[in-house]
Amino acid sequence: MAITRIILWLGNSFVICAFLLAFTALSAFFMLDAPSAIAMASTALGTGILGVILIATTYNTPARETNADALSFLLIFWLTIPLVAAIPYLALGVSSDFVSAYFEAVSAFTTTGASALNADELPKALLIWRALLQWFGGVCVATFAVVILAALNLAGSGIHRSMLFTLKKGELFERLIAIGRVIAGIYAFLAAICFISMVITGTAAFDALCLSLSGVSTGGLTPQSSPISSYVGRISSVVLVVFCLFGAMNVAVVWDALRLRRWRNIFALIRNVEHRAILVTGMILSIFGFFFIGFSHAFTLIIESLYFVTSAGFDYNVIGVEMLPPVILIAIALVGGSALSTAGGVKIIRILLLFRHLSTEMSRLPHPSRVLPVSFKKQHIPDRAFLSIWMYFFGYTLFFAFSILALGATGLSFEDAVVTGAASLSNIGPLLPATLPESGLTYAEFSSLQKLVSALFMLIGRVEVLAVLVLFTPSFWAR
């Protein structure tokens, strides 16, 4: 295994974290919050020095890596970056122990949006830090999905073809910077437009900054603990919905639309089958809401439904999607958003392909010898291409069952374990408060062990379940 290559790119990751911490420290300085600025600057300095040391000691390592090296780096990256990201929570005294701080950092970095903290009691510097952490996590999710998981054929069929994502064999680590820079540029551009639009439509600049970073990454963490409607107007809420949808869209499709710089290409985003499915799912969720609470809260239902299907899960008002049966919300959370997006879940494209494959197989039953290829988006997909998708679906179901067992073993009731497991694995933390459990369970009531287990499944949901399963396969390491 190319340990030195893994250490080299881990050092690069620490340097990026140091820059984000430095930006947060600078923001705290301009907000005249000296203690937060000093804490953030100290953490940035320590993280940067560690990153530089790791880079300097492994800089001349040969540029060769195997599939096992790439997956090992993927796993180590998602485990270690939250260790650094958790330090500000301890330095500013908002978390009493490291497990709680790690839970908060993992939740933000995986764009899950689960928090045991009261946003109204947090320093503004920390609110900026966790907003940046969500944005950085969203960039990493999309980058790794393209460079490592898609390249190793662990993310299912890649249906969309783009100039940006023409993958080459070998030197996967070298492509992280090139692809990551483009994806970071895309999400930074979208966050900037969202921020400007929300400020213009009446939202306070600080709230707009935090919400724009969280919305584009579909993170779900907010700068205030109260519902969004109490500090964001209706027009700004619609703006935020639009950019949450951008975050849940396939970044390759978004890149192609932006790259051509023609307004009519924006409509290509809506014509994409995954994106249409997200909108249709949001409409269906809204219709269910009309049956349960009527049309008096139509705006809230539509807004919250779109927030939810993008996996951001923002709470717009007190009465909304939380009035729907929990089973509907859990099912939508597990489905998730588009492939190569910041959203979690199984991904819509996999569900659509599985239904298409099932339909074709049903058509073959009367005539077993009939040759009937599966057609999707005007492409013929061979049966062997569905093997990884069925394996992923099986693996995801298996880990969902494991999460229920593990959380139940920590003392949660079955109902609470199901909701928490779904929220963690699908990376949509607001699912727990949205289901209004009879026990009244909140993340603030979690024990240290429950937070640790929940954080573990948040990470598993982000590294793709097959990537975790393959690590336990001896034949993979033998190759």
Is the CB of residue 341 less than 8 Å from the CB of residue 111? no
pLDDT confidence tier of residue 348, bands split at 50, 70 and 90: confident
Task: Check residue 79 and give its pLDDT.
Answer: 92
Task: Check residue 144 and give its pLDDT.
Answer: 85
Mean per-residue pLDDT, 434-459: 89
Q: Which of 225, 193, 218 is nearest to 208 (CA)?
A: 193
Is the CB of residue 345 less than 8 Å from the CB of residue 141? no
Model confidence at 43: pLDDT above 70? yes
- Report d(CA 218, CA 308) in Å as an integer: 9
Q: Enter the tokens of residue 421.
A: 């497991």
Task: Check residue 371 and give its pLDDT.
Answer: 59
Mean per-residue pLDDT, 221-226: 92
Output the CA angle 462-464-467, nearest 5 degrees: 130
Rounded to 10 deg, the angle between the 172-200 and 251-260 helix axes is 70
Element of type H or E holding 246:
helix 234-248
Q: Enter the tokens of residue 2.
A: 């190319």
**% of the chain surpassing 70 pLDDT:** 84
Model confidence at 20: pLDDT above 60? yes
Chain Cα centroid distance, residue 313: 12
Model confidence at 419: pLDDT above 90? yes
Task: Check residue 99 and give its pLDDT.
Answer: 95
Give the model confidence (pLDDT) of 57-103 as tens digits.
Answer: 887 776 666 667 777 888 889 999 999 999 999 999 998 899 999 99
Task: Check residue 349 and give its pLDDT.
Answer: 83
Rounded to 10 deg, the angle between the 98-109 and 67-85 helix axes is 120
Give the model confidence (pLDDT) of 92-114 as tens digits.
Answer: 999 889 999 999 999 999 999 99
Q: Give the list of residues 6+ apart from residue 306 with CB closer than 8 angstroms, or none.
A: 241, 244, 245, 282
- Report d(CA 113, CA 133) in Å as an integer: 11
C-beta pairs of 92-101 under 8 Å, 24+ apart in sequence: 92/35, 92/36, 92/39, 92/123, 92/125, 92/126, 94/121, 94/122, 94/123, 94/126, 97/448, 99/448, 99/451, 99/452, 100/448, 100/451
Give the model confidence (pLDDT) of 233-252 as tens digits.
Answer: 999 999 999 999 999 988 88
Task: Check residue 184 and give its pLDDT.
Answer: 92
Mean per-residue pLDDT, 196-206: 95
- Report d(CA 257, CA 163) in Å as an integer: 12
Global pTM reads: 0.90
Give the model confidence (pLDDT) of 369-381 as tens digits.
Answer: 555 666 666 666 6
Model confidence at 151: pLDDT above 80? no
Task: Check residue 70 and give its pLDDT.
Answer: 76
Instruction: Read off φ and ψ for residue 169, nearest 5 degrees.
Output: -80, 145
Provide DSSP, 23-68. Answer: HHHHHHHHTT-HHHHHHHHHHHHHHHHHHHHHHHHHTT--S---HH
Domain ranges in the chain are 3-178, 372-478
